[in-house]
Amino acid sequence: MTSPGDQNRFNEDKASYTVRGSEAPDLEAGVAAIRNVMKTLPARPGVYRMQDARGDVLYVGKARGLKQRVTNYTQVARLSKRLQRMVAQTRSMTIVTTRTEAEALLLEAQLIKRFRPPYNVLLRDDKSFPFILLREDHPFARVQKHRGARRAKGQYFGPFASAGSVTRTLNALQKLFLLRSCSDSFFANRSRPCLLYQIRRCSAPCVGRIEQAAYAELVDDAKSFLAGKSTGVQAKLGKAMADAAEAQDFELAAVYRDRLRALTYIQGSQTVHAEGLGDADIFALACNAGQMCIQAFFIRGGQNWGHRAFFPAHTNDVPEDEVMTSFLVQFYEDMPPPKRILVDRDLLEVELLTEALSERAERKVAIERPQRGDRKKLVDQASRNAEEALERRLAEGTTQGKLLRELADTFELLDPPKRIEVYDNSHIMGTNATGAMIVAGPEGFRTNAYRKFNIKSDITPGDDFGMMREVLERRFARLEKDDPDRSSGEWPDLLLIDGGKGQLSVVCEIMENAGVHDIPVVGIAKGPHHGRDGREVFHLPNGREITLPPNAPLMFYLQRLRDEAHRFAIGTHRAKRAKSLTTSTLDEVPGIGPNRKRALLMHFGTARAVKGAALEDLERAPGISKAMARQLHDYFHPRG
């Protein structure tokens, strides 16, 4: 798969055409723009992008023959209402030809994830999945959780459905194989075993408690286990425990016993039994009330590594098999496919999809719809999970919709809000000040829309009003720049501020200065007993104050919003503070690298002592030349 910025393998076959037609928002203008493009279209495989008058991408499609496929959009009577709306907005097209239709399918998925067009089926939850990485760039391999680009040398095992499932497996692996999880720098500077050795979760190779050959054997056992060969590992541990007991080395026998228990725990925690399946992903789709859910099971080495429900967007009037195909291509756009993919339905373009994913994986990938046996049972189980997840989603949506309607009535909003932004600040005596924004709506918390703000201006320490002013000024300046006509859905329908009348007046002043007069603002402050009785006071710009019964569902909902903003702000502040604790004023001095920094700190004790040292003292520091001492002294004592 090529990245958005690197399409070299398409260059020799690529041709791009951009033709702009009339910008009147009607069907005839859209058809005219498409016909204009058709004059130069080749009958080759490729990808086409439909764009509106502003150049925003409306739809990305692929075709075996571009000319024939694009011609279909001019036959308006045969199009669905959804596609007719799309054609009516189309004012230009961009065409990219490819060598094969499989390449076009892969490029289509890449562009859909890049542009997120409103008329394409979208994989909403496109966060990267966590893996277990066995790093082999060190004599003593390290096991760790990994997410993101796979650049480190080693073997990757996954994907896991969640960070929690990775953590549980890692904990069991540490008990079972005693592999180190520490960083290389921590490993290199140990003089005695750490706590993990004391609680029997590491073999302490850092201080020589295990030979390299014996440690390599543990690594090989871990690879075998993660590859699904747990039976051999279990037999090996059982024999070692019996041998230790026979030799009356009961302490060693207890160690092997605990490791066997860890292995049994992992085997017993499998809610999906897939022995003999090897590496496979299982997908099933459920549809109800116009919404769809796709349930995924991840099987690696015959072991269940978790499951997750996905709720693709823009699925109205789209056939279910088309939704499943589009989902699979986007899902594997940045993740390697397994050898086998099991689905619950026949797919129209299964041969093309198989070819594309095999090209993506650089090996054969099989897509199957099992009809009987254990594999059919697994697919049926995924189908039941999909139906149950969709039912929960619909029930939550009904409850959420009721809460938002009640919120609109309580605060006299015109409509239930689709986007609520909640703001909070965090600092300690003004240091490491950060602002935070969380977003919620009918679908719940939208974590991918959360934003953090490092306070940049020179604000008096502890000035919460000044911090809120900077955060909101930056937020609305960005909105005005990126979306002046409010067409993207990124503008809030309600601002919820953690604070009372003072914070609310600052926010209203900022909104007035920004020329924003139509976004409601509500301040939430603790009641007269500082929230101990569960009551909050809600402040409105007109001076009105509202209180809700402590057991009201709307009260719980608003408190949950406020608490989520507070949690995110605190987490952002702590991360910034932790980073600042590892930095030093010496890092800012030109020519001072890690070795000189270490020598200075070992000699003077602290960075503050280095800063206040006389030139003669600096010259006596080991590893510091006279020229470097002069440079260092001049940096901290500039001449006026």
Closest CA to 293 of 390, 382, 396: 390
pLDDT of amino acid 496: 92
Q: Is the pTM above the cut of 0.85?
A: no
CB 563 within 8 A of CB 438: no
CB 636 within 8 A of CB 615: no
Q: Quote the CA–CA distance of 511 and 536 in Å, as a whole number.
A: 24
Closest CA to 383 of 370, 394, 398: 370
Q: Which CATH superfamily is domain 585-636 in?
A: 5' to 3' exonuclease, C-terminal subdomain (1.10.150.20)
What SS3 string covers 290-328? CEEEEEEEEEECCEEEEEEEECCECCCCCCHHHHHHHHH
- For the chain, the farthest-separated pair of C-alpha atoms sits apart, in whole angstroms, at 90
Domain ranges of the chain: 8-115, 131-268, 280-391, 420-578, 585-636
Task: Please determine whether the domains at 8-115 and 420-578 fall in the same fold group of CATH.
Answer: no
The tens digit of pLDDT for each residue in 517-569 reads 788 999 988 766 554 555 788 999 888 888 888 788 899 899 899 889 888 88
pLDDT of amino acid 365: 94
For 384, phi then psi, to 5°, come to -65, -40
> What single letter denotes the amino acid at residue 172?
A
* Secondary-structure class of domain 280-391 per CATH: alpha beta
Quote the Cα angle for 161-164-169, to 5°. Answer: 90
Topology annotation, domain 420-578: Nucleotidyltransferase; domain 5 (3.30.420)
The residues, ordered by sequence, that sit 6+ positions from 463 with a Cβ below 8 Å of its Cβ are 430
- Number of residues in the chain: 640
What CATH architecture is 8-115? 3-Layer(aba) Sandwich (3.40)
> Which residues of the chain are modeled with pLDDT < 50?
1-24, 270-271, 430, 531, 581-582, 640
Both structure tokens of 29: 């203008």
Closest CA to 141 of 221, 227, 232, 260: 221
The owner of tokens 């189309």 is 90
The alpha carbon of 553 is separated from its chain's Cα centroid by a whole number of angstroms, namely 30
CB 215 within 8 A of CB 168: no
The tens digit of pLDDT for each residue in 494-525 reads 999 888 888 888 888 888 887 777 889 999 88
Q: Quote the CA–CA distance of 123 and 60 in Å, as a whole number.
A: 14
Q: What counts of helices (H) and strands (E) characterise the chain?
A: 21, 19
pLDDT of amino acid 261: 72
The residues, ordered by sequence, that sit 6+ positions from 191 with a Cβ below 8 Å of its Cβ are 207
The tens digit of pLDDT for each residue in 5-50 reads 444 333 333 333 333 333 345 888 999 999 999 988 988 999 999 9
The tens digit of pLDDT for each residue in 221-275 reads 888 877 767 667 777 778 888 888 888 888 778 877 877 776 665 555 544 556 6
> What single letter denotes the amino acid at residue 208?
G
pLDDT of amino acid 583: 54
Closest CA to 163 of 148, 178, 180, 151: 148
Q: Quote the CA–CA distance of 439 and 420 in Å, as a whole number.
A: 6
Tell how strand 303-310 and strand 291-300 pair up.
Answer: antiparallel
| Sheet order of strands, 280-288 included | 303-310, 291-300, 280-288, 340-343, 366-368
pLDDT of amino acid 292: 93
